[in-house]
Amino acid sequence: MFRTDTIAAVATALSDSGIGIVRISGEKAIEIADSVFFTKSGRRILKEVPSHTIHYGLIRDFRDGTVIDEVMASVFIAPKSYTAEDTVEINCHGGVLAVQKVLETVLQAGARLAEPGEFTKRAFLNGRIDLSEAEAVMDVIHSKNEMALRASVDQLQGKLAEKIRGIRQEILYEIAFIESALDDPEHISLDGYPERITEKLDNVISDINRLLQTGDSGRMIKEGISTVIVGKPNVGKSSLLNMILGQERAIVTDVAGTTRDILEESVKLRGVHLNIIDTAGIRETEDTVEKIGVEKARRYAEDADLILYVADTSQALDENDREILDLIKGKKMIFLLNKSDLEQKISEQDILSLAAGENIRMVHTSAKEKEGMEDLEREIEELFFSGHLKQNEEVWITNLRYKEALQNTLDSLLLVKKSVEDRMPEDFYSIDLMAAYASLGSILGEEVGEDLIEEIFSKFCMGK
């Protein structure tokens, strides 16, 4: 799996820009770069220069020596580089043709075209970063909002890895203690150990549970909150979507049933993305096309993270509202009392009575007057992030693989606890403690197979 040949790729977007970077990494990186980089006076210098220096010169074609571009070449000597290998980054003019010509001559000089993510994979395999930090690199690139970026940067800086290593160390201590006591019972006593390990297990299980509880919030920070707007026809759903988006995206008329298909949009509110779906008004209808839209609305509502239930407060609630509420019972929901600028025929008490014990959050809105957005944003933040998203400094689990590994860890620790409760021999504890230790190791890349590593890095972009 670990190849030590020298690789090269364009590390910036191929487009008209000020600068384009060709990155070279491997045991012959400096030698290859030196064969195509010359000073203005024609000297080759890169084999002689210190690490972490940058030099002005020319890139010449490896075959015929013609000048391709004026560049700056940065030299990084192993292990103090991104990949922990000798690395040269050639900063050339950013035109597509110039960058491609520089890459071509580097490949002719002996480098191999890098695979997607191969630079970061080498950083992982060389031990410069762990697997969680490597995956955070791609998360930073694909961050869609401020909170996703912050969570990815925290992970890249090792906050998750530090937490996981701390828990693994506690588990490893217990494994080592049990094995030592079993090997040398004359000097290491297990008297009272079940009580002591129970206390330790409770603390570790609590830590794991806290991490797991961030899983859903972390996913929504990373991917966005799946939000579905539902309600009866002609209550102002499309108008509210337009208000949230700040533009006229949905068609709005006074005719009930105007929205017949699903309309999907994305918007950033207080640093978090909402992936919003405007649905057809839910009602019984004989119109074939509208009926399809209503069925889609039902399906999307079932899978949503958040329901925005829109009611026209100038019209009384009816049996249709009750049927829709039954459909979305148990979901996280905010009731939008729309058309608050008109004479009100619905009160908050009417909503509470109709909800029959459901935990309902309510916001008064007027799409016409553009009122209620701040209250809606505040309710979403409170509903999903306890009202302190900006100040929250905890570690977020944003990766499904990590969530599965943590759940496996928790299951193993609960088995240890059951063994203690059942008064099983101490060597039974070690089996499940080792399983928990291995599950946590998979997050860091210490307990993973080649196939998983290849799958993870294949999702990276070229040049990274």
pLDDT by residue (tens digit) across 208-261?
A: 999 998 877 777 777 778 888 888 777 777 788 888 877 665 444 444 444 445
Tokens standing for residue 431: 């089996």
CA 305 to chain CA mean position, Å:
16
Angle at 314 between CA 309 and CA 316, to 5 degrees: 75
Provide the token pair at 260.
Answer: 């017949």
HEC letters along the chain:
CCCCCCEEEECCCCCCCCEEEEEEECCCHHHHHHHHEECCCCCCCCCCCCCCEEEEEEEECCCCCCEEEEEEEEEECCCCCCCCCCEEEEEEECCHHHHHHHHHHHHHCCCEECCCCHHHHHHHHCCCCCHHHHHHHHHHHHCCCHHHHHHHHHHHCCHHHHHHHHHHHHHHHHHHHHHHHHHCCCCCCCCCHHHHHHHHHHHHHHHHHHHHHCHHHHHHHHHCEEEEEECCCCCCHHHHHHHHHCCCCCCCCCCCCCCCCCEEEEEEECCEEEEEEECCCCCCCCCHHHHHHHHHHHHHHHHCCEEEEEEECCCCCCHHHHHHHHHCCCCCEEEEEECCCCCCCCCHHHHHHHHCCCCCEEEECECCCCECHHHHHHHHHHHHHCCCCCCCCCCCCCCHHHHHHHHHHHHHHHHHHHHHHCCCCHHHHHHHHHHHHHHHHHHHCCCCCHHHHHHHHHCCCCCC
Residues, the chain, total?
464
Q: What is the mean pLDDT of residues 67-75?
A: 96
Alpha-carbon span 60 to 163, nearest angstrom: 49
pLDDT at position 394 is: 67
Phi/psi at 208 (nearest 5 deg)? -65, -45
252-271 average pLDDT score:
59
pLDDT value at residue 366: 82
Residue 281's pLDDT band (cuts 50, 70, 90): low
Q: Please, which residues have CB within 8 angstroms of residue 30's CB and are 6 or more apart in sequence?
A: 46, 47, 75, 77, 86, 88
Whether residue 44 contacts residue 28, with contact meaning beta carbons closer than 8 Å, is answered with no
387-433 pLDDT, tens digit each? 554 445 567 788 889 999 999 999 999 999 999 999 898 888 999 99
Tokens of 303: 């899978």
Structural domains in the chain, sorted by start:
7-129 (3.30.1360.120), 134-214+398-445 (1.20.120.430), 227-385 (3.40.50.300)
307: pLDDT confidence band, cut at 50, 70 and 90? confident
Indicate whether this model's pTM tops 0.85. Answer: no
Structure tokens at 372: 């209620």
pLDDT per residue as tens digits for the range 2-17: 567 999 999 998 778 8
Listed residue (2, 25, 193, 260) closest to 119, CA to CA? 25
Cβ pair 300, 277 in contact under 8 A: yes
- pLDDT of 363 strictly over 90: no
- The token pair at 334 is 């905010």
Strand order in the sheet with 333-338: 263-269, 272-278, 225-230, 306-312, 333-338, 361-364
- pLDDT value at 293 more than 70: no
User: Between 55 and 322, where is the model more confident?
Assistant: 55
Cα gap 34→47, rounded to integer Å:
7
Better pLDDT: 63 or 239: 63
- pLDDT at site 246: 73
**74: nearest Cα among 49, 98, 96, 93:** 49
Percent of the chain with pLDDT over 90: 41
Bridge partners, residue 113, by sequence: 8
